[in-house]
């Protein structure tokens, strides 16, 4: 019995050591390589998407670029190269947990389930879940989806809330899975589905890029409010502290507000479209009192 306890203690001690070792020292790796790996989304306008010249641009990309400048000063590096890595809603968390990326700069919601695997910095946006439909569809709210086809993007949390509404209302919706936001949007635009359920921020961006935006409308009572935040490696306290500090500084100095205005209230690529979306009260409050604590 004593020998078994000793062996068990040794196993637990080894597991603890392995857990400590598994937490990547992001600072050391960045300093040695003088490169930071940033995950981004290719079609999450205006947060993270490809420009007309196929370069990553967007609200979150701008925020992360400023953070890279701060890390460069923190580590006293003559240069710090950004290695942009495209990810999807489905593989973004795996890219972080595998050590492939150091930061994910897209449109990821900070949820309790995801916090089991990754860390998040202070939110830079808040969005609610709604749906985009054809203007001529007659669909105005969730009960109108009875027996309809609804698409959601694989790897997002939209399906959870829509399925809850389906269960409560007995709507018998047929759920369709899009591989990414562009695929989901294409299914709607080509009339293969009746509605596209997603965070309204993503929907507004996709609508603005549509061949004929007037043919699409965003409707439905908000089902949930979620905080968008930059995703970081789980358990690297020093790295997270540095990123949180820079986010707090950007909020205090008005940089987040200026970037928000640039991407949400002024003309942007493509087609010089303007989302004309003023800042919401939750983000204003977060800028006043920065915190990474969300529900």
DSSP 171: -
Q: How far apart are the first and last CA of the chain?
A: 45
Whole-Å CA distances, 105 to 29, 69, 88, 101, 135: 19, 15, 12, 10, 32
pLDDT score recorded for residue 233: 96
* pLDDT, position 59: 98
- 93 is a domain residue: yes
Asked if 275 and 106 count as a contact pair (C-beta separation under 8 A), the reply is no
CATH number of the domain enclosing 182: 3.40.190.10
Residue with tokens 């990754």: 118
Note whether residue 147 is domain-resident: yes
Give the domain range for residue 83: 25-124+229-288
Can you tell me the distance from the alpha carbon of 180 to that of 205, in angstroms, rounded to the nearest whole number? 14
176 and 107 part of one domain: no
Does 6 reside within a domain?
A: no
Is residue 16 assigned to a domain? no
163 and 175 part of one domain: yes
Would residue 236 count as lying in a domain?
yes
Separation between Cα atoms, residue 180 and residue 48, nearest integer Å = 13
Q: Are residues 101 and 187 in the same domain?
A: no
In a domain, 295, yes or no: no
* Same-domain status, 258 and 203: no
Polymer length of the chain: 295
Q: Residues near 245 by Cβ (< 8 Å), separated by ≥ 6?
A: none
Please tell me whether residues 133 and 119 are part of one structural domain.
Answer: no
Q: What is the pLDDT of residue 209?
A: 80
Q: Does 294 fall in a domain?
A: no
Question: How far, in Å, CA of 47 to CA of 143, rounded?
Answer: 30
Tens-digit pLDDT string for the chain (295 aa): 443 443 344 433 333 333 333 445 899 999 999 999 999 999 889 999 999 999 999 999 999 999 999 999 999 999 999 999 999 989 999 999 999 999 999 999 999 999 999 999 999 999 889 999 999 999 999 999 999 999 999 888 788 888 887 777 788 899 999 999 999 999 999 999 999 999 888 898 888 888 898 999 999 998 888 899 999 999 999 999 999 999 999 999 999 999 999 999 999 998 898 888 889 889 999 999 999 998 7
Instruction: Tell whether 177 is covered by a domain.
Output: yes
Q: pTM of the entire structure?
A: 0.76
pLDDT in the model for residue 5: 40
| Environment class of 282 (CB within 10 Å of its CB; exposed 0-12, middle 13-18, buried 19+) | middle
Measured from the Cβ of residue 102, the count of other Cβ atoms closer than 10 Å reads: 28
Among 225, 248, 275, where does a domain finish? 225
For 191, the 3-state DSSP assignment is coil
What is the DSSP secondary structure assignment for residue 106, as one 8-state letter?
Answer: S
Domain shared by 104 and 154, yes or no? no
User: Could you say which of 225, 243, 263 is where a domain stops?
Assistant: 225
Q: Do 283 and 151 share a structural domain? A: no
Q: Does residue 181 share a domain with residue 38?
A: no
SS3 207: helix
Provide the domain count of the chain. 2
């Amino acid at each position: 019995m004593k020998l078994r306890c000793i062996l068990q203690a040794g196993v637990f001690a080894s597991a603890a050591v392995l857990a400590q070792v598994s937490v990547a020292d992001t600072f050391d790796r960045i300093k040695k390589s003088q490169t930071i790996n940033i995950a981004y989304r290719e079609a999450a306008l205006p947060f993270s998407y490809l420009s007309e010249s196929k370069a990553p641009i967007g609200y979150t990309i701008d925020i992360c670029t400023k953070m890279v400048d701060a890390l460069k000063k923190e580590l006293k590096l003559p240069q710090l190269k950004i290695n942009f890595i495209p990810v999807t809603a489905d593989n973004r968390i795996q890219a972080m947990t595998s050590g492939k990326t150091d930061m994910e700069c897209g449109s990821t919601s900070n949820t309790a389930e995801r916090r089991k695997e990754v860390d998040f910095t202070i939110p830079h946006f808040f969005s609610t879940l709604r749906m985009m439909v054809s203007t001529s569809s007659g669909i105005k709210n969730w009960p109108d989806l009875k027996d309809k086809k609804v698409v959601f993007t694989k790897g997002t949390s939209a399906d959870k809330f829509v399925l809850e509404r389906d269960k409560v209302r007995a709507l018998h919706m047929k759920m369709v899975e899009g591989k990414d936001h562009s695929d989901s949007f294409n299914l709607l635009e080509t009339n293969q589905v009746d509605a596209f359920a997603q965070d309204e921020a993503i929907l507004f961006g996709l609508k603005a890029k549509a061949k004929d935006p007037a043919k699409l409308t965003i409707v439905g009572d908000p089902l949930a409010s979620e905080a968008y935040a930059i995703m970081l490696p789980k358990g690297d306290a020093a790295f997270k502290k540095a990123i949180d500090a820079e986010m707090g500084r950007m909020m205090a100095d008005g940089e987040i507000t200026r970037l928000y205005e640039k991407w949400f209230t002024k003309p942007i690529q493509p087609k010089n479209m303007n989302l004309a979306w003023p800042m919401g009260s939750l983000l204003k409050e977060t800028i006043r009192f920065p915190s990474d604590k969300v529900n």
